[in-house]
Structure 1
Amino acid sequence: MLIKERNEPINLKIMTALNTRMSLSKEHQRYYHNLKSGYEGECLFDQYVKEYVPLSCDILNDLQLKIYTTDFQIDALIIHDQTISIYEIKNYQTDITYHHNNFITKSGTIITNPLGQLNRTETALRNWLKLNRLTYEVEAYVCFINPEAMIYGAPYHPNIIYACQLSRHLKNLNPNTSKAEQLMKTLMENHIADFRSGKDLPDYQKETIKKGVACRYCHSFETKIKDRTTYCLTCGQTESTQETMNRQIAEFQVLFPEELLDTAVLHDWCKKQVSKQRLYRQLAKA
């Protein structure tokens, strides 16, 4: 049973908006690409889970927890037969070579060892369970979800799952024989919603990023709003004006969560492309 759905990460929403509204450095472009690729890989993993995991198992996605002063994130958690299985999902878009305990890209870049990352998450979860007086076995896995990306030279490791092994692994999970209500309740109560990591984001202010209504398809700012429809003059796509206004509201709120959003602020954010009256009515509905 799916207990907690996966939502698009806040940092990915922020970077998607900033990618449209400002020029990103190569470092931040790479960060944005990695966030996007990671989320796509997690969604692909979810499709496998939906198809192959026994119905009695409980599934919680994208958990953000804290043990003392340490934050830790779990891409996917499955509860089955008094056991918790956690998954670190990697969606590498290039072939990787494993050499002397390092994972190296084709360009020669050494990337963070996912097994070390997994070990830290597993340790944090075990300590968190102990702190909350919850007794469960913990199994931890790294899943390389992209079947087109090869991992050359990787030794056999019981905690590594490749894409070709995933369906078999999930089908072999033992069904739940008892309820895990207290565990699920404690996990959900302690989950940190809308977690954002500011250290990886570029600096931005409302005054320095581009304002206006961007096309939701090609991201061009060459748009025109007429009656109930928004027209893109670049790609020719259309969108209902109501959806356009909802996008502007959501984007502003994710970029500037501490700022009060009123009609005047939203009118300025849209570069006056939408009338104040329409924006006022839309804000009243939000």
Structure 2
Amino acid sequence: MLLKPRTTPRELLFLRTLSPRMMFTEEQMEDYINLEKGYEGELKFDALMDNQKREHLLIRDLFLTCNKSDFQLDNLLFTPERIYQLEVKNFEGEHYIETEAWYTSTGKQIKNPLLQLKRSENLLNQLLYKMKANMKVDSYLIFINQEFTLYSASQSLPVILPSQINRFLKKLFKDDNTQNFIYPRQKGIANQLIKLHKTETPYMQIPEYNYRKLKKGLVCSHCMGWMEVSIQGRVKCSHCSKEEFYLSAIERSVEEFKLLFPNEPLTVNRIFNWSGGCISRKTVQRYLTDRYKKNGKGRSIFYEKN
């Protein structure tokens, strides 16, 4: 049973929206690419978990605080016996370990992901203790990318390599003596953790931006190219030739504007200009009138959710 689904990270939504409209620094672009790869890996693992037939409780993407320390959890799997913290990494290429330090094949040192795993486990255990939830937590670092290789790793490390994932999942459910039901106690603990989930994270790193300097236009949802006016109520991507109906293109444009400028009033002129004039003011007005509540009069008209 999936108690909390995964949502696209808010930081990633910002970067996806900004990347075609402004120039990122090399560091900002690297952060963006890493976020995309990380999220892609999480979705791949989600698909594997969704195929499991045995009964279990699953929470995805939790952001919690304990003793004034924030921590994030990719997956929490509840079975009758214990809780599994499953952290997913989408690393690729060759890596090796030397005295607990992690390196790429080129010799570049990277953060030891096991330290993050252990920190999250410790904070989760402290939080469960406060909740009087006496359950054992086992943590594993799962590498989902088939192009990942890790050398010099001790077999005692809680690391699951790509070739081991399917066997690990089968063994996990079998060894834990998972029944065809989950006790109410486990579900109660899981629901308590969900209530403690924080929707805002202080770790977001969003480039500074302002409306005037951002490039205006309709961005293709397929290749992030630029859409141009087509015929018969559609717009067409100038790069990949994908076509889209006006209404769905306006909807995406409105959601982008609301994400980047949540305190700015929603008006016909703003969405018309934000869309780069690809869609007529009349069509934008019709969309906003149909989907939103109209307020004000004359030039002061703006729209908000019903």
TM-score, L = length of structure 1: 0.91
Deviation at 1:31, TM superposition (A): 0.6
| More deviation, 65-74/33-42 | 65-74
Matches within 5 A, 1:186-201: 186-193=192-199, 195=201, 197-198=203-204, 200-201=205-206
| More deviation, 275-284/16-25 | 275-284
Q: Name the counterpart of 1:184.
A: 190
Residues 149 and 64 from structure 1, CA distance in 2 versus in 1: closer, same or farther, beyond 3 angstroms?
same
Distance 2:97 2:261 in 1: 41
| More deviation, 24-33/182-191 | 182-191
Structure 2 runs not aligned, ≥5 long: 293-306
Distance 1:8 1:165 in 2: 27
Q: Name the counterpart of 1:216.
A: 221
8 Å CA contact 2:83, 2:138 repeated in 1:
yes
8 Å CA contact 1:87, 1:142 repeated in 2:
yes
Matched positions, count:
284
- What SS does the corresponding residue of 1:66 show, helix, strand or coil? strand
Residues 61 and 141 from structure 1, CA distance in 2 versus in 1: closer, same or farther, beyond 3 angstroms?
same
Q: Name the counterpart of 2:149.
A: 150
Residues 268 and 68 from structure 1, CA distance in 2 versus in 1: closer, same or farther, beyond 3 angstroms?
farther
Distance 2:154 2:66 in 1: 32
TM-score, L = length of structure 2: 0.86
Distance 2:48 2:127 in 1: 28
Q: Name the counterpart of 1:15.
A: 15
Deviation at 1:206, TM superposition (A): 1.8
Question: For each residue in 1:71-92, what CA deviation from the matched residue of structure 2 results, as whole angstroms up to 9, or x when unmatched?
Answer: 2110111000141101111111
Q: Name the counterpart of 2:164.
A: 165
Deviation at 1:226, TM superposition (A): 3.9
Deviation at 1:110, TM superposition (A): 1.2
Q: Name the counterpart of 1:264.
A: 269
Pick one of 241, 249, 252 that aligns with 2:254: 249
Q: CA RMSD in A?
A: 2.0
Q: Percent identity?
A: 29
- What SS does the corresponding residue of 2:251 show, helix, strand or coil? helix
Residues 255 and 262 from structure 1, CA distance in 2 versus in 1: closer, same or farther, beyond 3 angstroms?
same
Q: Name the counterpart of 1:6.
A: 6
8 Å CA contact 1:91, 1:145 repeated in 2:
yes
Residues 148 and 48 from structure 1, CA distance in 2 versus in 1: closer, same or farther, beyond 3 angstroms?
same
Deviation at 1:271, TM superposition (A): 2.4
Deviation at 1:195, TM superposition (A): 4.0
Distance 1:100 1:33 in 2: 29
The higher relative CO (CA closer than 8 Å, separation ≥ 6) is in 1
| More deviation, 236-245/112-121 | 236-245
- What SS does the corresponding residue of 2:279 show, helix, strand or coil? coil
Distance 2:259 2:244 in 1: 21
Matches within 5 A, 1:73-222: 73-172=72-171, 173=173, 174=176, 175-176=178-179, 177-179=182-184, 180-193=186-199, 195=201, 197-198=203-204, 200-221=205-226
8 Å CA contact 2:229, 2:279 repeated in 1:
no
Question: For each residue in 1:152-209, what CA deviation from the matched residue of structure 2 results, as whole angstroms up to 9, or x when unmatched?
Answer: 11111341111222222222323255122311221221112254633x2222222221
Q: Which amino acid aligns with 2:121?
A: E
Distance 1:196 1:251 in 2: 21
Larger CA Rg, structure 1 vs 2: 2
- What SS does the corresponding residue of 2:211 show, helix, strand or coil? coil
8 Å CA contact 2:217, 2:227 repeated in 1:
no
Q: Which amino acid aligns with 1:38?
A: G
